Structure 1
Amino acid sequence: MKKILITTAIATCGLTANAAFAQTEITWWHGMGGHLGDVVNEIAEGFNGSQSDYVITPVFKGSYEETLTGAIAAFRAGEQPNVVQVFDAGAATVIGAQGATIPVQDLLEQNGVDFDIEDYIAGVRYFYADADGKMIGMPFNSSSPVLYYNADALAEAGVEPPATYEEFEQIAPAIQEAGYTPLVQTHLPWEFVENFHSRHNLPFATNDNGYEGAEGTEILINSPEMAMHFTKVKEWLDGGLFGFHGTSWDDNKAQFLDASAAMYIGSSGDFGGLTSMDLPFEWGSTYLPYWESITSEGYQSFIGGASLFAMSGFDDEENAATAAFFEYLTSPEVQYMWHRETGYVPITEAAYEMAKEDGHYKQFPDAETGIKQLMLPAGENTRGYRMGFYVQIRDVENRELARFLNGETTIEDALATIETEGNELLARFAQTATN
C-alpha cells in the first residue's frame, strides 16, 4: 500500500510539536484526454482538497481500448490501479473477469456510504448492474445518442427536426434541395445497432440481453427490423439523403461542422464541444429517431460513455479511499460541475435537480436532451446489454455494415456474418468466464 507522509507543525503555547500522519494514496486510470482530462484532474484535485485522509492520482492511459487492455494486463501482473474507467462495450469483459473487481454497491455499503440505486436517473441505473440489479460499476461519463441539427439549414428547407425515420424520409428531399446532405451518423454500432434495439424495445441478445449469464448468450442482430433499417439507410445513401464517411467518428461529424450536412447523430456528450465552437449557424438537438412502423413510441436509449470500476486486490484502507472517492464523485455538486463542464449527463436525480434549479437548462436547453431521452419509458429490453468480447463484436459490425453501405455485400450476408462471428466470440468468452 502506498502512503504519502505529511508533517504538520503545530505551535501551542510557544511550543512546537511535529505531528505526522499518513495519507492513503490510490490511482485512477482513465481514457479522457484534452479538455475532458482537465476536468478529470479538477475532480481529483477537488477530492484531495476536500479531506486529509486520502489522495487520488488520475493517470491518462490513452484511448478507451488502450485503458481497458492496460488494466487487464496490469491485473494479471498484480499491478492494477484502484479505479479504472471502462467504456460501455468493455463492461461485460471486466464484469466477467472473475475476482477482478469489487461491485461498487458492495464497496460503498461495506464502508458505511448510503447507497440507493433509485437515486440514479432511470436510464443509468442498471446498465452496469448484474441480473439481480446490484450496481457493479459506477456510471461516470454517461451519454445518450441524440440528433443534432443545423437550425438555419432546416429553416431554409422549411422543415422541422424529425421525431421518426418516417418523418425524416418526408423532409429529407427538401433539405437536399436546399443544398445539404440531410443526415450523417458517427458510430454505426452504437447509434444504428445497439440503440436501434433500445429505442424500439427489441431484444439484442438471448438470456435477457446477456444479463442472465455468459453461457448460451447469443446476439440477435440478424432480424427483419435490422435488415429493413439498413436497407433504408442504403437507399438514402444512394439517393444522396445520407452521407457515410467510413467508421471514423470525426470524419462523419466534420460534415455537420462545416455545414455540409444538416443533421448528424452523435453523443449528448458532444454538447460541450459544440457549445465551445464558433459555428457559423444556429444548432439544436432532439431525440434519436425511431421507426413508427416498429413501435408507436420511442423508448429510452442505452447509455454510452463509460463507468468506473473498483479493482480488487487492495487492503481495507485503500478500498475505503476508493469508496470515499465514489461518494465524493456522486455528490450533486460534483456531478453538476461534470455535467456543466463536459455535456455528459448527471448520473443522479439530485444533480439533475440542482442543474434545473440553477437555471442551466433555461440557458442551455440542449444540455437536457440526452437526460430526457434516458428518462423516456423503459421496456423489458432497454436497461442495457451484457455481451463479453463486445469490443471485438463491434469491430465485426463496423466492418460488415461498412461493406454493405459501400456496396460490397448484401444486408442479409452482412447481418449473417455479424451474427456468426459474434456468437463465436460470445461462446469463447463464456468459456473464459467459467474457467
Structure 2
Amino acid sequence: MSSSSQLFHPDFVVEPYWWSETPPVLERNPLPAAVDVAIVGSGYCGLAAGLELARGGLKVAVLDAGRIGEGASTRNGGMVSGGLKVPMAMRATLGEERFSAMVRDSVASYTEFEAFLAREGIDAHYERCGRFTAAHSPGAYRRQEAQLPVLRDLMGLTARMVPESRQHEEIGSDFYHGGMVVEESGGLDPARYHRALRQKFQDAGGSLHGMTGVTAIRRASGGYVLETSSGPLRAETVFVATNGYSGGAWPFLRKRLIPITSFVIATEPLPEGLAAEINPKARMLVDTKRILYWYRLTPDRRRIIFGGRAKFRDVDERDSACNLHAFMSRIWPQVRGVRITHAWKGNVAFTFDHLPHMGRQDDVYYAGGCQGAGVAMSTYLGRRTALKILGAGGEPCGFDGLPFPSHPLYHGKPWFLPIVGNYYKTLDSLERYTGW
C-alpha cells in the first residue's frame, strides 16, 4: 500500500475484535459488608477460582478496577497452548520431583481446560486445530529438532517436524525455514469464553464489582480489609489475580510480575480462497524469534488476527498497527492489500524466571505470570488456588510455592524493556541472516 492511511478500513476502530460481539460489562454492584473470599482481578484466573469457591459454598466477591473482563482475558488472541515451555536448565536446580510436577501441570492445564469446556457446555468457538511454530532461521529449526524428544517423551505431546521443503502444507509463506507442529493446541473466542465463565460464577452465587479498584489490603480482626474506590470490604481470605495489571495495592506481586504490552490487529474479511492459501489447516501460528509474532484466523476463518511486540514502549494503536501490518506482509505478501479493521493492545505478565507462579505470601493467595500463554494456564491456576483454599487441592501443583524472584532495581515499571527488546531484536536478525 502506498500510504499508511490506506491500511485502515473505513470502519476501523481501536478496540479488540472480540468486543464487537461480546464487550466487557460494567457490573458496578454495591459491595457487601463482608465475604468469605475477596478476589482481586476479574480475568480467567479470578473467575475460575471464584466459580470453584462459590460452588464450594463460600460467599465470594470478584473486584476489578475497570470493567469486568476488560484486561487481558478479552484482549488476547484466543490461542490455547498445550503445555508450557518449561526451561530444561531448571531441572537440576529444582530437583527431579518438582520439575516433573511442573511438566505434569503444564500439560494438565490444557487437557483439563478442554475437559472443563466440554463438562460445562461452554460455547466459545473452541477448536483443537494444532499449532505450527515456524523457525525464523535454520539454527532455530535445529533447536526445535533438539526439543522434539522433550515434547514427545517428557510431556507426552503429539509433535513432529515439518522441513522447509514441506512448510507450505502448514503456512503459505516462504519466509520461514520449516517448523514444528504440536497437535495439543487450539483456538477460541476469548471474550465468549470470559462471558461464559462470568455467567457461571454469578449463577453459583458469586458477586461481581467492576470499577472497584483496590488501593490497599490490610490485616484486620478475622481476616482482612480491602480499601477500594467503592468503600471497604471485609474478607476472611484474599486472592490476588491481577497478572499484567497489578497495581500498588499489593507490592509483593507488583515487584515480581513484569507487564509487557502486546499489540494486535484484525483484518477485514479476506478475499475468497486466501485464508486457505495462507493457513491451509487453520492452525494457531507463532514463530521462534525472541521478539515473536503470533497469528491465526478468526473462528469463522475469514480474517487474520496478528499480534506481537510491535514496539518496546507504549505507543498509539494506529502506529503499532502499521508495524504489525508491515511484518504480516513480509510473511504473506498476498495480504499486502488487506486492510485493518481493529487494532488494540493489552498487557501480558512475565516473570524473572519465565515460569507461572501460584502461592501464598503473608496469608494472601496469588497466581499469575503465564508468559503470554494464559488462557488455559490462568484458568488452571485459578482453580488450583481455589481448591487449596477449600482444603481440597489433592496432589500439590508444580507451580505452587516456587521461589518467586524479583530484582532490587525493579518496582513494577519495566524501564529495561527497550534495552532488552532491542538486544533481542538484534539477535533475531543476526540469526535470520547468518543461519544460526
Fold-level match, TM-score > 0.5? no
> So what's the TM-score if we normalise by structure 1?
0.22
Larger of the two Rg values belongs to structure: 1
Question: Which protein is richer in helix relative to its size?
Answer: 1
> So what's the TM-score if we normalise by structure 2?
0.22
Question: Which protein is richer in strand relative to its size?
Answer: 2
